């Protein structure tokens, strides 16, 4: 049995909707986490970053981070805390399967982990 798939999703984002549609078109019914309503915990975010192979600064949405006055020059722990407190600054969508993850930009990039 393959690992479950989770998408950290914002239904107002076209790329997020396209990624969710792509997963479903490929026979995957993921667990959908609307991360603006249910933000990841600091540990969940650390696990996602590990699965992506990214540093916290790479997961920041530039415009939203600037609006929230969150700078990429913060240390990793401070960036993670800022993302948990302000989930709108987290890049989206994120698809996680087991210990791997991809950001759906472009949406087709998530197919690599299915």
Model pTM? 0.94
H helices then E strands: how many in the chain? 4, 4
CB-based contacts of 112, cutoff 8 Å, min separation 6: 102
pLDDT digits (tens, 9 = 90+) for 91-110: 999 999 999 999 999 999 99
Q: Which pLDDT value is given to residue 1?
A: 59
Instruction: Show which residues are catalytic.
Output: 13
pLDDT digits (tens, 9 = 90+) for 1-32: 579 999 999 999 999 999 999 999 999 999 99
Please give the CATH number for the structural domain made up of 5-113.
3.40.30.10
- All structural domains of the chain with their residue ranges: 5-113
């Amino acid at each position: 049995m393959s690992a479950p798939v989770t998408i950290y999703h914002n239904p107002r984002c076209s790329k997020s909707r396209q990624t969710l549609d792509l997963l479903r078109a490929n026979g995957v019914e993921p667990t959908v986490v609307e991360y603006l309503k249910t933000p990841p915990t600091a540990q969940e975010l650390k696990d996602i970053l590990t699965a992506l192979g990214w540093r916290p600064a790479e997961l920041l949405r530039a415009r939203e981070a600037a609006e929230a006055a969150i700078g990429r020059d913060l240390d990793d722990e401070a960036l993670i805390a800022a993302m948990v407190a302000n989930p709108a600054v987290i890049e989206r969508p994120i698809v996680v399967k087991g210990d791997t993850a991809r950001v759906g930009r472009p949406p087709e990039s998530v197919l690599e982990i299915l």
